[in-house]
């Protein structure tokens, strides 16, 4: 082989090696990102007002999948976690849903799965009951303190804000003076390995009162931080319109919420 041909071949080999190095670096980065999403943290967007006033429509948060134990893909098994779910945790979990029907995911595996976010109220073995608009855990009423303030939801309803203490955690819930959702009349005993979930927006939340308890296997983990928040619940294709995007960033982005802990 002549010298020019050898130099050309060497140049081509070097270029191919450079391309492969870039591709392999990109593949490794993608695999790391997918691994982090599958086993460590996962993003979640709040689509509804069932967790008002704690979480707003358009909040984007991270779920810590490591805390309750990493779920082994394609199984119901989990590796040991840092702790079990606790009363007062805000957790993201999977349910089965078709149309307006919602079921625990393990009861209707044939239905499409959706992700919900609610607050853990009842642990395995707890007795949950409802009387006079109040929630009782093991015969004791959850402490509720009216704050004398109101919250206006996205439908224009004015809701009363109450302070709640549960499991050493303090948080706010809403009460709609014009609405009283029907609650179970019988005491519910939470089965082993399952959890009872409620929304903070008590009169506008479809939760364990209506469709049952959630297995630990379906709980992805606790929400722990807001990484983005804006007053937008439309389709992502709308963001291709520069005017819409500018309006969101300048008028409807809740900059003060970004970086807040979820609790």
Domain 41-140+179-257 matching CATH 2.10.109.10: the answer reads yes
Mean pLDDT, residues 111-115 taken together: 96
Residue 133 main-chain phi, psi, to 5 deg:
80, 5
pLDDT at position 247 is 86
Report the distance separating Cα 196 and Cα 117, nearest Å. Answer: 12
At 162, is the secondary structure helix, strand, or coil? strand
What is the pLDDT confidence band of residue 167, given thresholds at 50, 70 and 90? confident
For residue 142, is pLDDT > 70? Answer: yes
The residues assigned a catalytic role are 50, 118
What confidence tens digit (pLDDT) does each residue in 193-244 have? 999 999 999 999 999 999 999 999 999 999 999 999 999 887 878 878 888 8
Residue 59 main-chain phi, psi, to 5 deg:
-70, 140
pLDDT at position 27 is 63
At 138, is the secondary structure helix, strand, or coil? coil
Among the listed residues 197, 228, 209, 200, the one whose alpha carbon sits nearest the alpha carbon of residue 92 = 197
Report the distance separating Cα 197 and Cα 215, nearest Å. Answer: 11
What confidence tens digit (pLDDT) does each residue in 11-47 have? 566 665 656 666 766 666 555 545 555 567 899 999 9
pLDDT at position 194 is 98
Who has greater pLDDT, 75 or 4?
Answer: 75
Mean pLDDT, residues 123-137 taken together: 94
pLDDT at position 3 is 60
Q: Name the least confident of 48-52, 74-78, 163-167.
A: 74-78
Q: What is the largest CA-CA distance in the chain?
A: 94
Place of tokens 């509720």: 144
Q: Name the least confident of 34-43, 63-72, 80-89, 121-130.
A: 34-43
pTM of the model: 0.85
Dihedral over Cα of 220, 221, 222, 224: its sign: negative
pLDDT at position 202 is 94
Instruction: Give strand ranges (E) for 5-105.
Output: 41-45, 59-64, 90-98, 101-104
What confidence tens digit (pLDDT) does each residue in 73-102 have? 777 788 888 999 999 999 999 999 999 899
pLDDT, the chain, mean: 88
- Every domain of the chain and the residues it spans: 1-39, 41-140+179-257
Residue 185 main-chain phi, psi, to 5 deg:
-90, -20
Report the distance separating Cα 139 and Cα 141, nearest Å. Answer: 7
């Amino acid at each position: 082989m002549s010298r020019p041909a050898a130099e050309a071949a060497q140049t081509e080999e070097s270029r191919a090696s450079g391309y492969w190095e870039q591709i392999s670096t990109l593949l490794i980065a993608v695999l790391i990102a997918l691994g982090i999403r599958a086993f460590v943290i996962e993003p979640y967007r709040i689509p509804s007002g069932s967790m008002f006033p704690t979480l707003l429509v358009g909040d984007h948060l991270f779920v810590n999948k490591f805390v309750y134990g990493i779920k082994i893909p394609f199984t119901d098994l989990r590796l040991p976690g840092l702790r079990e779910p606790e009363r007062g945790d805000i957790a993201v979990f999977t349910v089965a849903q078709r149309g307006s029907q919602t079921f625990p995911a393990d009861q209707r595996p044939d239905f499409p799965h959706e992700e919900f976010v609610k607050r853990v109220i009842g642990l395995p073995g707890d007795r949950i009951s409802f009387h006079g608009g109040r929630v009782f855990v093991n015969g004791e009423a959850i402490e509720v303190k009216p704050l004398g303030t109101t919250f206006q939801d996205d439908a224009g309803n004015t809701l009363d804000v109450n302070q709640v203490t549960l499991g050493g955690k303090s948080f706010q819930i809403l009460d709609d003076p014009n609405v009283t959702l029907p609650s179970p009349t019988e005491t519910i005993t939470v089965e082993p390995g399952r959890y009872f979930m409620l929304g903070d927006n008590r009169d506008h939340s479809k939760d364990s009162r209506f469709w049952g308890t959630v297995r630990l296997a379906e709980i992805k983990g606790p929400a722990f931080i807001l990484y983005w928040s804006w007053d937008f619940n439309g389709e992502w294709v709308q963001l291709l319109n520069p005017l819409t995007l500018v309006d969101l960033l300048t008028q409807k982005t809740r900059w003060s919420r970004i970086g807040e802990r979820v609790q």
